[in-house]
Amino acid sequence: MANELLIRLYDVGLGDCIYVRIPGKTDKKEDAFHMLIDCGTWSEGKLLAAAMKQLESELPDAKDGKKRLDLVVVTHEHKDHISGFDPKLFENVKVGAVWMNCAMNPKHPQAGKTRKIRGVAEQAMRELAALGPSLSPRATELFSVFQINNKGAMQMLRKTLLDGEEPTYVQAGETNETHGIALNKAKINILGPEADFDRFYLGATAQRTLKGVLGAVAFDAEKEFDATAEAQEPPSPRNISPASFRALRARMQSNALAFAELDGTLKNNSSIVLLIEWNKKRLLFVGDAEWNGDFKESKMNGSWNVMWHERRDLIGKPVDFLKIGHHGSENSTPWDMGKGKPSEATAILDAILPVPAAGQQSKAIAVVSTERGKYRTIPRGLLMTEIARRVGDTRIYKPDLKGFKPKDPADFEAYEREWLDKAQPLRTDFERVREGKGFIDVVLS
């Protein structure tokens, strides 16, 4: 173990729960550095509970009879990344440090506008819910995010998990050494998000537009938006005509969806992006970071584009391991979406996962934690085959899925069937079917 680094991606359905063990000077697990990147799922909770139980068996003993986990990294505030931060799941684990992104800091001055949008989105979704059950499928999906609101998990992360101590809010340009964590011949680089979050990811253009929508006083006031305030009671159908009520619901749904979509994008782009360097190998963990065209000052940039502009010295080189972003979503890995046109996106992908020369095979490994059933284009089959061209350890899953029963047969036929006889990177959902294990191990030496 002293000369091996372990990455274990647990199958938790649609979610991330990733264990990384960085070796110490000896092969004893007491000398290794143990970290967990996210702990959440959109799927059934028993998968996450099983993952945490298995993780405990890998951890060394702590002084108080619990198991020692040196670092928890919370990439961003979405259910599929934080819902597992439940006191019951961590009752036997002693956590040394918690990293959260700088935009999650309620006092971070350079994310104040982003927090305003989050508050408006939460209130808009509550008001929409008060209008009754006639919501579109997309509205219902987004409402589930705000209905949960992640408050229990956030409370645990900010207080309970560290016995009352505050988490550490991190930003691009920092490393493990910045925060007093010593490693044996390894380095953890933080590539995103940038500290000036509103500037890079919200952008001046969007800020001007939102100021016009919300009003200068509401958008620029120093007082934080009160997301806990009770939503105003919408008009009753008895007081207005049925047609007017339907129009009101449609207008509110449109506004709520717009703010919820914007908030979701900003949260994804707040993801902590980690580059771990060890034994001349480079391991990239990107959370749900999105890409969005080419970088441009003042626009709403994707996290990938910002990293390419601000951190190219680190991001602009081949990696040995890639945790594929956002469960295989088409907007969270920079690529040309099958169009074959050169762009900043293709330059980024070519830099981190270059296509091997004819007759050669890449030694890079890519893994995706995924499950079809929540979003139609997650995972995106065409993207999976594109990444498979660039990595060495791939699978053709069709022979292993003869008795597989998908949760949504129609979507499976539409978005999976034609890709099953083509090589794909390792997937947590299909590897469970193939091998019966609840995780994928990547061992580097």
How many domains, the chain?
1
**Prediction pTM value:** 0.91
User: Residue 59: what pLDDT?
Assistant: 97
Per-residue pLDDT tens for 363-372?
A: 999 999 999 8
> pLDDT by residue for the chain (445 residues), tens digit each?
668 999 999 999 999 999 999 999 999 999 999 999 999 998 888 999 999 999 999 999 998 889 999 999 999 999 999 999 999 999 999 999 999 999 999 999 999 999 988 888 877 777 766 666 566 666 666 666 555 456 678 888 888 888 888 999 999 999 999 999 999 999 999 999 999 999 999 999 888 887 777 777 667 755 554 444 444 444 444 454 555 545 545 554 566 777 888 889 999 999 999 999 999 999 999 999 999 989 999 899 999 999 999 999 999 999 999 999 999 999 999 998 888 788 899 999 999 999 999 889 999 999 999 998 777 889 999 999 999 999 999 999 999 998 888 888 888 888 888 899 999 999 999 999 999 889 999 999 9
Helix pair 344-352, 303-310: axis angle to 10 deg: 70
Residue 383 has a CB neighbour count (10 Å cut-off) of 24
Domain of residue 401: give its range.
5-444
Q: Which two tokens stand for residue 434?
A: 């193939």
